[in-house]
Structure 1
Amino acid sequence: MGDVLKQYINGEWKLSESGNTREILNPATGEVIAEVTEGIRADVINAVAGAKAAFYENGWMDTSAVERARLLFKLADVLESRAEEFYKLETTNNGKPIRESSVDVSDACACLRYYAGFTTKPHGVTYDVPDDMQSLVVREPIGVCGMIVPWNYPLLMAIWKIAPAIAAGNTVVFKPSEITPLTAIKLFEIIDEIGFPKGVINLVLGDGPNVGDELARNRDVEKIAFTGGTSTGRSIMKAATSNIKKISLELGGKSPNIVFEDADFETAVDYALFAIFCNQGQVCSAGSRLLLQESIYDKFIERLVERAKKIKVGSGFDESTEMGPLISQNHMNKVLSYIEIGKKEGAKLVCGGNRITEGTFGKGYFVEPTIFVDTLPDMRIVQEEIFGPVLVVQKFKDEKEAIKLANDSCYGLAAGVFSNDIAKAHRVIRKLRAGITWINTYHPTYNEAPWGGYKQSGIGRELGTYGYEEYTEVKQININLDVKPTGWFAK
């Protein structure tokens, strides 16, 4: 299996202070593929100290935008040159089909280049004020930024956070998911090779209750960025009160996908499948609630089930595979438990619902594409995030009811509308309480556009100029152009 994989702290590869290790599994086979050091709070404290020194004492806060851009461009170039190595490793550790992991690596390179180019572009603002003054606003880096990402897009989520933080001039302490750290470790090998100064970007490994909590709680961390579940997001918020650090949270979702009777039928069916079964349904913005107008309800479900039963589930390394395994045995059991909850609640199971166990499938964590119909708004499978290949279908009569059902959720991350009546589609989109929306499509994401949600789906935004601004402080500067005594007090 090889040597124990290490953390990257203050420019050095280090084992944990604890001496403990963790086995990393391939979710398609259940086999151990690596052993990594298991970090503890002391490792986070050391990494934060290195990041703080790099920012305040060793000159990173004064590094030119041109230099930061050069490093990000170089990181993108080297990552792209090793793309195959990365996407194969991602599929091995995460299980997703190779066609998805290869896109993730490509998107990560594009995101790095977007922020590398953006690094030299931000500008301040000047104001025409009443006095003989020049008033201006500049953006400055925050300082030490802590980052925690989930297991569903290990490499891409890392880049979504690291790239804008470095572009803005911050230092970073990064924690990947404890079950999918392999591409992050490989990414830090490149970071080490290309010459980022010591302490600017640090990698800590370990679980959430210890490593993640310390990162959120540490008083020298001035910003925490987290992607993951809403319950964990609440814990991050509480821990961040230690020094009232800036936070951005990209959390859960139970996103509605609304199909009107006038939609292009086959297009809507195709995207309904893509919305929920892409990445095995392990997507925060998955279209996990399908809302169908009653006039097309039966016909749509018949075609949807027909198509879903043909989805090829298998190893991510088989190029014909369309859906891979779930990430872990624990997560698979959680998804299967929700399927049982749906049955007990009275929803009708029309597709899937089982773990796939025949042959080599029995060693991995595979679940069939699953569809429930005849669901009610108060059912748990309708209200709670399952984060797996489980679709719940609801019926609506008209535009008003569609909007009401769509907004009946504590989440507000994403939403889709399918209709050939563009005016109606726009009316409905404007009424939906969600941060990421689509008309006649689902899932496309762009580096230029903000990513984030309403309500319990999070705080702040990633990507675009909005993502950059999350890693900056705004400073007001006033310059007196008429330098003389104020005359306010008597001489």
Structure 2
Amino acid sequence: MTDFSQIFVGGQWRAGGGGLADSIDPADGSLVARHGVASVADVDEAVAAGHRAAADAEWRGMLPHVRARLLHRIGDAIEAQAEEIAALQTADTGKTLGETRALALSAAGTFRYTAAALETLDDALTTPRGPFMTMSVHEPIGVVGAITPWNSPIASDAQKVAPALAAGNAVILKPAEWTSLVSLKFARIVEAAGLPAGLLSVLPGPGATVGDAIVRHPGVGKISFTGGTVTGKRIAAIAGEKLMPVSLELGGKSPTIVFPDADIDHAIAGIMFGIFSSSGQSCIAGSRLFVHRSIHDAFLARLVERTQALRVGRGTQSGTQVAPLVHFAHRDKVAAYVEAAQADGARIMCGGSAPRGAGYDDGAYYLPTIIAGADHASAICQEEVFGPVLVAIPFDDEDHLVAQANDSVYGLACGIWTRDFARAYALARRIAAGTVWINTYKQFSISTPFGGVKESGMGREKGREGIRAYMQQKSLYWGLDPQPLPWANG
């Protein structure tokens, strides 16, 4: 049994200066474990240890293919313990075992892809413009902070830690308060794989203290943050004062669009997966549904019928499709959005409440919900609910559709359902979003960059360039002219 009472500071397991916190199973409110919490002093120690480890000649001078072997070992170890990781994450977050198993395997794949990319990541001889040779090289930043969300532990951890280590940095990882157990387990896996001490610290704790201390610390040279837009803006403001680079993957209110020529079965399945999987707790959830008016009513009727048949239950139960939300407070926040929409005149087509009865009353459950008749300027259409709540809106023509789809402070993702690929391409280029799915939704590849525009964030993760995001570029010049520089001759 993993001991969660200690935190991982500079390669050492010990009690955190912030005491202990409870991890609660949202399926029934029971205690999963008590875990250690870091303090500001722990942040100082972790950063100091990180600087020593990152500056060590053996690590800094390690050849890329040798560092890649270490990343492969970490990926293999995660895969070997995927079932244990999945069970722990389901208890910590409420997610279905199928989803948490997929997240663990995704994390393993992230380390392997990053290892492969590292082995083939070349610097460049640049085109000469005089009697000299020029080269562009990339070097580690030093110590970077990685702040991850509660909706996809282990996968988010890997998405930041793998490229940061590949780039030669030390990493201070701060998991979300509600879901710290998996990140502490991750630290033990990385340690056992042979990562030199000090290159990874895992510091659970409140964002207002531990997270803030990491962001403000003068020894931290970059922050990679995934989470809410309000927090992301605060981090960006602090980074501006420090002149520190940041990567911010923030909120979304993503449109998904259905044209009359769409494959209706595919569209309904994709829309349901896009909003109701993960219980809607996904930054890229397709939470605004635009359906052409000519098919709107019939399409919505079929969608409501299919949604009402979804199986709501514990994440450990076979066949569960919609598991509890991560926390009771979050469930109540989602419910408040739906109640406000109804009070504003919107119609609840299905769901709209927590399920009742044995097996539900003690958990943080909420029924998959579809809302119609909402004003597009209302909160339910403009703000990120982060729950299993879909708003359906008819549209008549593409110009009006684009105007409404882009009428959001967010720009993270979009889905388009049509058999007309020329239309899909043209529309995808008009939508303000970092990712557009065509005739599918919520599919990911570690090889493909990901990020948002507008208030959905800045910077990109994943892909080969994901490693470069954790490096600093430097230019080298070699003089080749046999004559001295003429200026000094007077």
TM-score > 0.5 by shorter chain: yes
With normalisation by structure 2, the TM-score equals 0.98
Distance 1:2 1:75, change over 3 A: closer
TM superposition shift of 1:57: 4.3
Question: C-alpha separation between the residues in 2 aligned to 1:318 and 1:302?
Answer: 29
Deviations 1:326-352 (A, max 9, x none): 000110110000011111121111110
1:185 aligns with 2:184: yes
Tell me how far 1:242 sits from its aligned partner: 4.4
| Alignment partners' CA distance in 2, 1:3 and 1:253 | 36
Q: How much has 1:419 moved relative to structure 2?
A: 0.5
The 5-angstrom pairing of residues 215-226 of structure 1 reads 215-226=214-225
- Aligned residue in 2 for 1:265: 264
Q: Deviations over 1:416-459 (max 9, x none)?
A: 11001111111100100000111111000001100101100001
1:269-305 C-alpha deviation (Å, 9 max, x unpaired): 1111111001000000000000000000000110000
- Verify the 8 A CA contact 1:357 1:363 in the aligned structure 2: no
Alignment-mate amino acid for residue 71 of structure 1? L
1:81 shift after superposition: 1.0
Separation of aligned partners in 2, 1:349 and 1:237: 38
Query: Given that residues 114 and 464 in structure 2 are in contact (C-alpha distance below 8 angstroms), is that contact kept between their aligned partners in structure 1?
Result: no
Residues in 1 aligned to 2:324 and 2:17: alpha-carbon distance in whole angstroms:
34
- The equivalent of 1:17 in structure 2 is 17
Tell me which amino acid in the other structure corresponds to 1:42.
A
Q: Return the alpha-carbon distance in structure 2 between the equivalents of residues 95 and 275 of structure 1.
A: 18
Residue 219 to residue 133, structure 1, CA distance change in 2 (3 Å): same
- How is 1:133-212 mapped onto 2 (pairs within 5 angstroms)? 133-212=132-211
Aligned to 2:5: 5
Deviation of 1:64 after TM superposition, in Å, equals 1.8
Contact 1:173–1:204 at 8 Å: present in 2 too?
Answer: yes
* Cα deviation, residue 69, structure 1: 0.6
Counterpart code for 1:175: K
* 5+ residue gaps, structure 1: none
| C-alpha distance in structure 2 between counterparts of 1:61 and 1:201, whole Å | 15
The offset of 1:191, in angstroms, is: 1.4
The Cα shift of 1:243 comes to: 2.3
Amino acid at match of 1:12: Q
| Aligned residues between the structures | 490
Return the offset for 1:357: 2.9
The alpha-carbon distance between structure 1 residues 483 and 56, as it changes in their structure 2 partners (threshold 3 A), is farther
More displaced stretch, 35-44 vs 406-415? 35-44
User: Residues of 2 paired with 1:280 and 1:7: CA distance?
Assistant: 30
Q: Which residue does the alignment assign to 1:408?
A: 407
What does the per-residue CA deviation read over 1:344-398, in whole Å, with 9 as the maximum and x for residues that have no partner?
Answer: 1211111101012311211110000001011221011000000000000111001
Q: Which residue does the alignment assign to 1:64? A: 63
Per the alignment, residue 435 of structure 2 pairs with: 436
Q: Give 1:46's aligned residue.
A: 45
Quote the Cα distance in structure 1 between the aligned partners of 2:101 and 2:37: 28
Q: Report what 1:256 is aligned to.
A: 255
Once the two structures are superposed, residues 22-81 of structure 1 have per-residue CA deviations (whole angstroms, 9 ceiling, x without a partner) of 011011111111001121111111111110111124542222212211111001111111
4+ residue runs of structure 1 moved beyond 3 angstroms? 1-4
Question: Kindly tell me: are residues 2 and 446 of structure 1, through their superposed partners in 2, closer, same or farther at Cα, counting changes over 3 Å?
Answer: closer
Corresponding residue of 2:358: 359
How far did 1:236 drift? 1.1
8 A contact 1:252–1:411 mirrored in 2: yes
- Aligned partners of 2:9 and 2:477: how far apart in 1? 40
Residue 402 of structure 1 and its aligned partner are, at CA, apart by 1.4
Name the % identity: 39
CA contact (8 A) 1:217 1:241 kept: no
Instruction: Tell me whether 51-60 or 404-413 shows the greater mean CA deviation.
Output: 51-60
1:401 to partner: Cα distance: 1.5
Residue 318 of structure 2 aligns with which residue? 319
**TM-score normalised to structure 1 length:** 0.98
CA displacement at 1:119 relative to structure 2: 1.3
- Deviation of the 1:3 alpha carbon: 5.6
